[in-house]
Structure 1
Amino acid sequence: MRTQVAIIGAGPAGLLLGHMLRAEGIECVLLERQTGDYVLSRIRAGVLEQVTVGLMERLGLDARMKAEGLPHDGFNLADGERLIRIDIKALTGKEVMVYGQTELTRDLMDATAERGLEVIYQASDVALHDIESDAPYVTYSAGGAQQRIDARIIVGCDGFHGPSRQAIPASVGQGFERVYPFGWLGILADVPPCNHELIYANHEHGFALASMRSHTRSRYYIDVPLTEKIEDWSDNRIWDELAIRLGPDAAAHIRRGASLEKSIAPLRSYVFEPMRHGSLLLCGDSAHIVPPTGAKGLNLAASDVHYAAEALVGFFKANDADAIVGYSAKALARVWKSERFSWTLTKLMHRFPEDGPFERRMQVAELDYIASSEAAQRSIAENYVGLPV
């Protein structure tokens, strides 16, 4: 098989990019190791920045998002009994959209056949070849036979553990990493949210987040040591802990229910440079990971897709080789700013095991400053709603 662009990974980043390229008449094929059902089963982000919403609007795939999504013009930081509201609409003139990553992925997936976007699922043993040349290719196994796709450009949207980043020689790339000493224990339940906006809470017991997927489905998190096991956390134990950490006002409105899903996700900050080598581009989690504090993961992948699509359109339709060359620097400039925000918010709202009374006083002082300073709130709001692309 021959195509212009081979995309490794058919999660939201790969599907977004595939649709963007097909809309411009650029040939592409997606390879996905898992089944479509498995991709949809992954419970991930739920807050969309303007860049992500804008891409769905450009593709004309925003109807269900606009009908079912929840526009939010603010969110809250909590410390003990205090609730600090960040009015992002008043401070920036923009808002975010609460719409689950699963639903966005479903919208993209459902449109593939109609729009002629080819996705090959259950493609195992994917390997990238000759990425430093002008004629790279991908091999994979499907149906018990080895297959090959020849392309001009390969784009890795295959996540942190995929083969794309690993195809870049160690002498060329460098990873920057911060592994956090805790994970987020999440519970998804068909209950109304305890607040109409998100609450990020810093409590002496640890961090908590109250969020939602709809008016009737809620997503809550608490941080726990990495040594914890999910089977030791009954639903009741999680609800009890949430009521403590979120504070009395939120606790009074928590509706308990049976968990639809429970899991513990480790947290890390990670950036790989460069995001382009030869004829290979990296997008999303294949190049960077952010802690979920601040909801940047999916949105950062979407900004990568924006830059990648722009570069590929320039390359294929305007014969502009510099468009590809400049992709990495342009994408990384925004990546590092988003990493900074997620890292800063994580440090502010979590109790780290190595922290003592001084670090705690610094958190209190910072929250006091945020509560009393419009300038501080504006900075947070600008980052939360999403920096320009």
Structure 2
Amino acid sequence: MRTQVAIVGAGPAGLLLSQLLHRQGIESVVLESRDREYVERRQRAGMLEQGTTDVLREAGVGERLDREGLVHHGLELRFGGAGHRVPLTELTGRTVTVYAQTEIVKDLVARRLADGGDIRFEAEAVAVDPSAPSVTFRQGGRTHTLECDFVAGCDGFHGVSRPALPGARTYTREYPYAWLGILADVPPSTEELIYANHERGFALHSLRGPKVSRLYLQVAPDEDLSAWSDQRIWDELAARFATDDDWELTPGPITDKSVTPMRSFVAEPMRHDRLFLAGDAAHIVPPTGAKGLNLAVADVTVLAAALTEYYATGSRTLLDSYSDICLRRVWRAEHFSYWMTTLLHVEPGADEFARRLQRSHLDYVVSSTAASTSLAENYVGLPLEGVAS
């Protein structure tokens, strides 16, 4: 078997890359270890930067996004019993959109299959060769080799692509807290996201649609999920979101709950020979800054442009710059995500001095136009470097 670009992983990064290449007449095969039903049901965050929504529209998968996505022009920082709105659009001229990653994957799978795309589900990649580019995979009890010009490793943190990158240097930071996340069949109690800092810990009120809410609580990394009854979750959320003006959180049936640990991770470079890493295969961010999916989209947008340049002209200029271009954005997003996380979470064992410093920083962010603008610029997403608009 042979193709121009072998893509390992059918998450948003791999599927979007395949779609972008298809629109430029470049062949690809997507290999995914799970079945289609599993891939289309994975729950992930869905806060999209404006640049991400622009890319999805350009890729031909923006119709349902524009119809069902919830456009946001601001967010709320809540602390000390009061809410403080950060007007994202007023400060930056840009918006963010809530649209679940699950729905993006469904849209991309449907589009690729309708266009005759080659997505091979239940095809587990077991080895990647960066120099004589190929991917060895198992499917239907047999082992196959897919030869190609280039390999795109979009197979996540635990995939086989990153270990195939010789000499990569990694940087990691573990955080002393995790998120207990729930999905609930209840209309959101807010029109814009609420990031709450409370002495009991951080909380986030997000949305998944007009009738579904997504909420999170700061908990310990080793938290026992069975200890959290539905009632306990709603009581704790209500306490952390409480305001002096008696704002009310509306509870409802919880349909899903999970505990997610938090880490920062970067592998560099993101390329060796003809193997290119994208998305979680190369970097992980804590979810506070809503950057994970958006970084993956930025990676494959640069990679698609580089491959298009190569096949059109033979030039390797953008291919050779891929890692440097992506890593500049990755490290900016890593810092912003770290900053948002430490600004809003309660450090276990923190003394009163540390708490006062954190409160002072929060007060400054919401009272200074310059500080609010810095938050807003990073939150809505910085311009994409290396890709013509």
TM range (shorter): over 0.9
Q: Secondary structure at the match of 1:2?
A: coil
Residue identity opposite 2:174 in structure 1: V
Contact 1:243–1:251 (8 Å) recurs in 2: no
- Alignment of 1:320 with 2:315, yes or no, is yes
In structure 2, the CA distance between the partners of 1:187 and 1:249, relative to structure 1 (3 Å rule), is: farther
In the TM superposition, what are the counterparts of 1:4-43 in structure 2 within 5 Å? 4-43=4-43
1:33 CA drift (Å): 0.7
Partner of 1:259: 254
Q: CA deviation at 1:252?
A: 3.9
Kindly indicate whether residue 158 of structure 2 is the aligned counterpart of residue 143 of structure 1.
no
Shift of 1:116: 2.1
What is the TM-score with the length of structure 2 in the denominator?
0.97
Q: Which runs of 5+ in 2 are unaligned?
A: 385-389
Q: 2:162 aligned to 165, 169, 172, which one?
A: 165
After superposition, give the CA deviation of every residue in 1:179-209 in whole Å (9 maximum; x if it has no partner): 1111100010110111100001110100100
Amino acid at match of 1:333: R
SS of corresponding position for 1:138: strand
**AA matched with 1:10:** A
For residue 294 of structure 1, what is the aligned residue in structure 2?
Answer: 289
Contact 2:113/2:119 (<8 A) preserved: no
Quote the RMSD (CA, aligned, Å). Answer: 1.2
Distance 2:125 2:46 in 1: 31
1:305 Cα deviation from its structure 2 partner: 1.1
Q: Does 1:203 align with 2:195?
A: no
Secondary structure of 2:288's counterpart equals coil
Q: State how far apart, in whole Å, the 2-side matches of 1:18 and 1:251 are.
A: 49
Which of structure 1's runs of 4+ aligned residues deviate more than 6 A?
none
Q: CA deviation at 1:236?
A: 0.8
SS in 1 for 2:209: coil
**Do the aligned partners of 2:208 and 2:214 also contact (CA within 8 Å) in 1?**
yes
Instruction: Please give the per-residue CA displacement for 1:70-110, whole angstroms capped at 9, x wherever unaligned.
Output: 10000011113121111001000111111111111111111
Pair 1:354–1:328, CA change in 2 (3 A): farther
- How far residue 354 of structure 1 moved from its aligned partner, in angstroms, is 4.3
Correspondence for 1:219: 214
Indicate the residue corresponding to 1:102 in structure 2.
102
1:345 is matched with which residue: 340, 349, 363? 340
CA, structure 1 residues 89+127, in 2 after alignment: closer, same or farther (shift >3 Å)?
same
Deviations 1:325-368 (A, max 9, x none): 11000000000001110000000000111422222111111111
**Alpha-carbon distance in 2 for matches of 1:66, 1:150:** 38
Following TM superposition, by how much is the alpha carbon of 1:322 offset from its aligned partner in structure 2, in angstroms? 2.1
Q: Tell me how far 1:260 sits from its aligned partner.
A: 1.2
The range that moved more, 16-25 or 363-372, is: 363-372
Q: State how far apart, in whole Å, the 1-side matches of 2:246 and 2:142 are.
A: 56
Task: Say which SS state the counterpart of residue 287 (structure 2) adopts.
Answer: coil
Q: Displacement of 1:277 after TM fit? A: 0.7
Displacement after TM superposition at 1:251 (Å): 7.1
Tell me if 1:364 matches 2:323. Answer: no
Find the counterpart in structure 1 of residue 387 from structure 2.
none
Deviation string 1:243-268 (CA, Å, 9 cap, x unpaired) is: 00112379743221121110000000
Letter in 2 for 1:104: I
Counterparts of 2:42 and 2:124, CA distance in 1: 19
Please give the alpha-carbon distance, in whole angstroms, between the structure 2 residues aligned to 1:250 and 1:258.
Answer: 26
Give the superposition deviation at 1:218: 0.2
1:336 aligns with 2:320: no
Q: Is the 8 A contact 1:206 1:222 kept in 2?
A: yes
Percent same amino acid at aligned positions? Answer: 49
User: Counterpart of 1:140 in structure 2: which amino acid?
Assistant: F
Residue 42 of structure 1 and its aligned partner are, at CA, apart by: 1.4
Task: Please say which of residues 342-351 and 313-322 is displaced more in the overlay.
Answer: 313-322
Q: Secondary structure at 1:248's aligned position in 2?
A: coil
Matched, 1:181 2:176: yes
Unmatched tracts of structure 1, length 5 or more: none
Report the CA distance shift for 1:250/1:345 in structure 2 as closer, same or farther (over 3 A).
farther
Residues paired across the two proteins, number: 384
Q: Which amino acid aligns with 2:124?
A: S
CA distance in 1, matches of 2:84, 2:295: 26
Counterparts of 2:349 and 2:115, CA distance in 1: 52
> Which residue does 1:268 correspond to in 2?
263
**Equivalent in 278, 303, 306 of residue 273 of structure 2:** 278
Amino acid at match of 2:307: L
SS in 2 for 1:159: coil
Shift in alpha-carbon separation, 1:265–1:96, aligned structure 2, 3 A = same
Segment drifting more, 113-122 vs 325-334: 113-122
User: Which residue is 1:124 aligned to?
Assistant: 124
Q: Secondary structure of 1:381's partner? A: helix
Residue 125 (structure 1) shift: 4.7
8 Å contact kept, 2:80–2:198: yes
Question: What amino acid maps onto 1:209 in structure 2?
Answer: L
Q: Distance in 2 between matches of 1:372 and 1:226?
A: 33
Q: Which amino acid is 2:108 matched to?
A: L
- Please point out which of 139, 153, 157 is paired with 1:156: 153
Rate the CA distance shift 1:220–1:250 in 2: closer, same or farther, 3 A: farther
